[in-house]
Amino acid sequence: MRLVVAAIGRLKESPERELVERYRKRAEQIGRRIGFREVELIEIRESRAQEVGKRKVEESIALASIIPEKAAAVVLDEHGDNLDSAVFAGQLRKWRDDGRPAIAFIIGGDDGLMPTLREKATLTLALGAATWPHQLVRVMLFEQIYRALSILSGHPYHRA
């Protein structure tokens, strides 16, 4: 099973980018042992459209095109479900065991996503009630993916 994080915008060289890559590599390494063969980040260039509505449409179309067929689509949204790490891990396990080929995590741009993309989501996920900068959302999401895979593998990283 592939884990894909698709995000609008590109992270420049920064501490956030280093953290994303650190957690991505850790997740990929531990995930291979338990049926998650690949963990990747796909960055999509921000739309240059002047109108907000057009930007949202263009970015949502670009993100939708990344979602593999029959994948579980997880849209990150501040109004989504707040899952603790163990429940999140259990959801990844369920999708893996159900034979899903991939899980695609979708992080929209500054203007958000089109409702049609949100409606296609298998799960809408929040990382708490606060609004976070997109750079930190990526770090927190990759850390939670790594933590979930650690839980599933019995690794001691998660001590709850």
The domains found in the chain, sorted by start residue, are: 2-153 (3.40.1280.10)
* pLDDT tens sequence across 93-118: 999 999 999 999 999 998 999 999 99
Tell me, what's the pLDDT at 142? 98
Contacts of 114 (CB under 8 A, 6+ apart): 56, 57, 60
* Residue 34: band (very low, low, confident or very high) from pLDDT cuts 50, 70, 90: very high
For residue 77, count other CB atoms closer than 10 A to its CB. Answer: 18
Residue 155 has pLDDT above 90, yes or no: no
Is pTM beyond 0.75 here? Answer: yes
Tell me, what's the pLDDT at 149? 97
Residue 160 has pLDDT above 70, yes or no: no
